[in-house]
Structure 1
Amino acid sequence: MAKQKNIKVGISIGDPNGIGGEIILKAFEDPLMLELYTPVIFASTRLFSFYLKEFDLSNKIHGIKSLDDVVLGKINVVRLLEDDFIVEWGTVSPKAGEVAIKSLRAAVEALKENQINVLVTAPIHKEAIQSDDFKFPGHTDYLNQELEGESLMFMISESLRVGLITDHVPISEVANQITGKLIKSKIGTIKKSLKRDFGITKPKIAVLGINPHVGDNGVIGRDDQEKLIPALEELREDGNIIFGPYAADAFFGSGNYKNFDAILASYHDQGLVPFKTLSFGSGVNYTAGLSHVRTSPDHGTGFDIAGKNEANPSSMIAAIHAAVAIYRNRMSYDKLTSNPLKSSSRKRREY
């Protein structure tokens, strides 16, 4: 088997007062990681030298001024930030938010220019990042603006995939935001992602109800009867393998989720509470539906443990593995579907 290409993994540092720097460096403590992937971190060498000393890590970083200077198999740190930032562990700070956004913007530009293959984002603090020129509630909304496609927050692990119809919106606005058009769009995105990103030929998708007990035939709200059920019926008529809507309260506890390739939840906590209960530490936040691949750990900034050398890098490692696997799946899928006759002819000749 031919050796696979070493993939350039762009990494934005997230909130520098949180655990982002710690889990990034710990993810690449294993030399095997550098044989498989080349990290390109958008930060500063001074900041990461501080993290190395603070956590007594033996990694070696390679500072670069330009993405043209990236060295495969090394921890590349793009000298992006000013060196006057001082880490204040666990503190919500506008200055830290500025650092996080500057790192994110540079990483996304590199992704758009194909100077990196995939993007992995360390956690940001949603309050710290708010400013006059950045008013997004999180990564997903910003990426949806910057990249082509329609984004879907897709939480993934080895045994579970959960997408969301609505994500970072107040619970009071969920029902108003859900429309038949939005439901069809999100299911279409999940279906395409399952095929292109995960290699599932005939995806089976389960959908959770909007109201408790799927509204009990209108007794507990009519959103399911008037929006969700008609949309699912139309999708099934078009040949989609869609099941539900299911009452969310028993769906995961009964193990029913194991029967499907993905589950679509109506709102953030309906999907993320069971996902994190079942997969925390190994789960990944994947932004499906966009022109480029972005993943993130399934946790936040970890301000409560920041600076204590207690952060577990397992979800960051899972996010890196997932990003590269999805990238390679996409390349294979696109190659096979771009010219199927040519591909089929080549296979016959090789046989």
Structure 2
Amino acid sequence: MDFSLTEDRRMLSDSLNRFLADKYGFDHRKNVAYDAPFHDTALWSEMCELGVLYALAPEDAGGFGGAGFDITTVFEALGKGLCPAPVLGSLLASSLMTSAGADQSSLLDGSVRYAVAIGELDAPYGLDDLETTFDGGKLSGRKSVVYGGNDAEVFLVAAKSGDTLGVYEVKASDAQVTGYGLIDGGGAAELFLDGAPGTELIADARDALEHALDLGRLALCAEAVGLMDATNEILLDYLRTRKQFGVPIGKFQALQHRAVDLVTEIEQARSITILAASRIGEDDQARIVAMAKNLIGRAARLVSEEAIQMHGGIAMTWEASVSHYAKRLVMIDAQLGDEDYQLEKVMAGYAA
């Protein structure tokens, strides 16, 4: 089976990789990822002009992609470039707006920034225990760790209306938004809704929300593959150049074996991400995506820990790029359901 990119996806990948290398280099990333708004808003506009967000939506929704492999193409490049731009929130919002048949032209061209508010303090991952409510055109509740919410203009909020779980559109100006930076760069927010006016986007949204979350998990898997590739390149370069006892430390067989083990882990992560991308839209989508996210969580942690250990103390410093890649790799596991949560989903699927 041929897993090579189509011509359109290859062009998008090349353009985005070149853009990130030229304009979102490591030094620039350090300067913008940890201070509000936690990404470069000017470069956000340029990135949107490249068509990055259009690649995340299908043609009938105004985009030119939307398939699993379009998502992985974009997010693998974002991972390699360690880019903190809030593309994940845009992907989730685009998926929900596609399900609703809503106009998303302002989202896709980047002129309006959207964020999706699902998780809560007592329900960080799943949909069953959400407490936010919609009644009489008003939303009440609190949403936690809303990715990209720190400078979003519109929120799509998952809330209960009676026994039904819906999605409602809320303007940031009508809610209380407390933004903050994440430990691995990029921004998020707590969203406080105290009778905030909302407009119904999807009345019965459980399936649409589950699909959007699956797409988000696939995106994180692809981002992790890009991150692991870049981390491995940094590590190999260090092993070739760092000398001890008069020879490069990469000559030591023990480190060679550990480096080879990492390549195996990365290729397994890449393979299951490809499998998950191929299953988007299929009956077993949720199970395969959960399997991928579970494996990615374990592999990403191993790659980050091994890269730091083989670098030694320098890898713990702010100036070393490997430390920033390692933080992002570890934190990806916590987003949209960690490895334990994904394992429970897989087990429940088999039991059913």
Normalised to the residue count of structure 2, the TM-score between the two structures is 0.29
| Larger RCO, structure (CA 8 Å, separation 6 or more) | 1
